Amino acid sequence: MLQGKSILLIIGGGIAAYKCLDLIRRLRERGASVTPVLTRAGAEFVTPLSVSALCERKVFQDLFDLTDEAEMGHIQLSRSADLVLVAPATADLMAKMAQGLANDLASTLLLATDTPVMIAPAMNVRMWDHPATQRNLATLKADGVTVIGPNEGGMACGEFGAGRMAEPLEIVAAVDAQFADGPLKGKRILVTSGPTHEPIDPVRYIANRSSGAQGTGIAKALRDLGAEVVFVTGPASVPPPDGVQVIAVESAQQMHDAVMAALPVDAGVFAAAVADWRVKAQSSQKIKKTREGLPTLEFAENPDILATVSRLTKNRPPLVVGFAAETEDVVALATAKRGRKGCDWIVANDVSPATGIMGGSENAVTLITDDGAESWPRMGKDAVARQLADRIARALA
Ligand code: CTP
């Protein structure tokens, strides 16, 4: 979807600027052209030479560079792109944008542009949490600026928290979604996928046979209909789709936390095979064989992510779709599960070994909604995904 798109990339001054080099490559390998603007502070972190080499274009740096004005005025430059992307967007750049300042090339372009603007903030956690930055963020969102990230994690300054710039592929996914067209354009949809791994000790875990194929297919189909997809995946054996925001987790608890952090969304599709139990007291060291006998594992129940989201009073997605993996009495058990979990739809499938569905490439599902149970013929998991995505598009229309 990025083929032929032109992106004006404003690189602010922060340590995260180094990630822009990769971001440029990722955008360009998908067919976009990138015109770079480097702020004075940005040039302290990445060199104009590396940026222009990767973009195969001149880097614009100075508002009063008369040659540039003769070739292309700043007004024209600001409007020549399909999207203006600011990455990293520093606290200073965000403040300038929110105030409408125009005292250097980057801020002037941002004030003059009539094209959509997306920012990927990056800064120290205290700067991010500061009421001034949060006020500026609210102003920018109200002005129609799309904000991607920041993520939580350790920072170059040694502190931990929200403020890390989104990863290049997450930014690419958001840019992709910006250009997407289709019935789900403007809709943000969460998909959980894959198995979870529940650790026993640092080297062992309990898992299940889910490959993540069905969840991945659904994420692709939703993306292809124009949705912005947040894909929360356990350690699956099929690779995650391109053009979606991927949040990789290991355990059910991590999946629960990632899902909660991703809300609000317009719909949630819970295709993950989440482990129902985790080992209660994980050993911090590898459990050794001893003469005293075999270890005993005690279990604790994991949070039921689907049931939790279905029962939210605030931020409950308008459409919640669960899956039911059953090995007998599929429709009856899945119908009961739909009521128990409180989701709107349930996609039931028979995962008894004879069907070859768990870990296989085909699926035979029954969609259970308020209107009753509708059995679909056995087909490839991608075809099931497309049919389900179509139904979701119709329901959200
Ligand atoms: N699910 C979840 N969190 C869990 C367990 C399951 O979100 N801790 C979701 C799955 O993603 C799926 C649905 O709940 O959408 C049903 O999963 P399934 O394994 O079939 O059901 P269980 O909750 O394990 O119920 P049962 O033990 O009765 O089969």
Per-residue pLDDT tens over the stretch 6-42:
999 999 999 999 999 999 999 999 999 999 999 999 9
Residue nearest to atom 24 of ligand 1 (CA): 276
Which residue puts its alpha carbon closest to atom 28 of ligand 1? 337
Residue 341 among known ligand-binding residues? yes
| Residue 153: partners with Cβ closer than 8 Å, 6 or more residues away | 160, 164
- Mean pLDDT for the stretch of residues 126-154: 92
Distances in Å between the Cα of 32 and the Cα atoms of 202, 206, 290 are 43, 43, 60
Mean pLDDT of 118-129: 96
Q: Is 346 in the pocket of ligand 1 (CB under 6 A)?
A: no
Q: What mean pLDDT value characterizes the chain?
A: 92
Res. 225: pLDDT tops 60? yes
Query: Full-prediction pTM beyond 0.75?
Result: no
- The ligand 1 atom at the shortest distance from the C-alpha of residue 192 is 11
306 is in an annotated binding site: yes
Q: Per the annotation, does 68 bind a ligand?
A: no
pLDDT score of 360 = 78
What integer pLDDT is reported at residue 66 of this predicted model?
52
Nearest Cα residue to 23 out of 122, 168, 136: 168
Residue 322 Cα to ligand 1 middle (Å): 8
CATH topology of domain 182-397: Rossmann fold (3.40.50)
Instruction: Using pLDDT thresholds of 50, 70 and 90, give the confidence band for residue 158.
Output: confident
3-class DSSP state of 115: coil
Find out whether the beta carbon of 304 lies less than 6 Å from any atom of ligand 1: yes
pLDDT at 228 over 60: yes
Tokens coding 130: 């500061």
Peptide bond into 240 cis (omega under 30): no
* Nearest CA among 137, 111, 107 for reference residue 122: 137
CA of 304 to the centre of ligand 1 (A): 7
- Read off the pLDDT of residues 169-186 as tens digits, 9 standing for 90 and up: 889 988 988 888 899 998
Is 202 annotated as belonging to a binding site? no
Closest CA to ligand 1's atom 21:
324
Could you tell me the residue ranges of all domains in the chain? 1-179, 182-397
pLDDT at residue 26 in the model: 96
pLDDT digits (tens, 9 = 90+) for 293-308: 899 999 999 999 999 9
In the predicted model, is pLDDT for residue 283 greater than 60? yes
Choose one of 302, 306, 310, 335 to mutate for the ligand 1 pocket test, by most ligand atoms within 8 angstroms of C-beta: 306
Pick the range with the lowest mean pLDDT from 123-132, 159-168, 213-222. Answer: 159-168
Q: Is 13 in the pocket of ligand 1 (CB under 6 A)?
A: no
Does the CB atom of residue 193 touch ligand 1 within 6 A?
A: no
- Percent of the chain at pLDDT > 70 equals 98
Concatenate the DSSP letters of all residues of 359-387 into one string.
TSSEE-EEEEETTEEEEPPPEEHHHHHHH
CB of 252 within 6 A of ligand 1: the answer is yes
- Which residues have a catalytic role annotated? 157
3-state SS assignment for residue 231: strand
Select 1-179's CATH number: 3.40.50.11540, 3.50.50.60, 3.40.50.1950, 3.30.9.10: 3.40.50.1950
Beta-bridge mates of residue 36: 9
Extract the runs of DSSP E, i.e. beta strands, from 139-211. 146-147, 151-154, 160-164, 188-193, 198-199, 205-206
> Using CA atoms in the order 57, 62, 66, 72, what is the torsion angle rounded to 10 degrees?
40
Return the pLDDT at 71: 60
CB neighbour list of residue 48: distance below 8 Å, 6 or more residues apart: 38, 59, 61
Q: How far is the CA of 374 from the centre of ligand 1 (A)?
A: 20
pLDDT of residue 277: 97
Asked if residue 264 has a cis previous peptide bond (ω within 30° of 0), the answer is yes
Work out the pLDDT band at 44, boundaries 50, 70, 90.
Answer: very high
Q: What is the mean pLDDT of residues 283-296?
A: 89
pLDDT at 232 over 60: yes
* 166: confidence class by pLDDT, cuts 50, 70, 90: very high
DSSP string across 321-365:
EEEEEESSSHHHHHHHHHHHHT-SEEEEEE--GGG--TTSSEE-E
Task: Give the model's pLDDT for residue 89.
Answer: 98
Strand partners, 290: 293
Determine which residue's CA is closest to atom 4 belonging to ligand 1: 304
Atom nearest to 252 CA in ligand 1: 8
Give the pLDDT confidence score for residue 164 in this predicted structure: 93
Q: Please report which confidence band the pLDDT of residue 72 belongs to, taking 50, 70 and 90 as the band edges.
A: low
118 CA to centre of ligand 1 in angstroms: 36
d(CA 274, CA 253): 10
**Of all helices (H) and strands (E), which one includes residue 94?**
helix 91-99
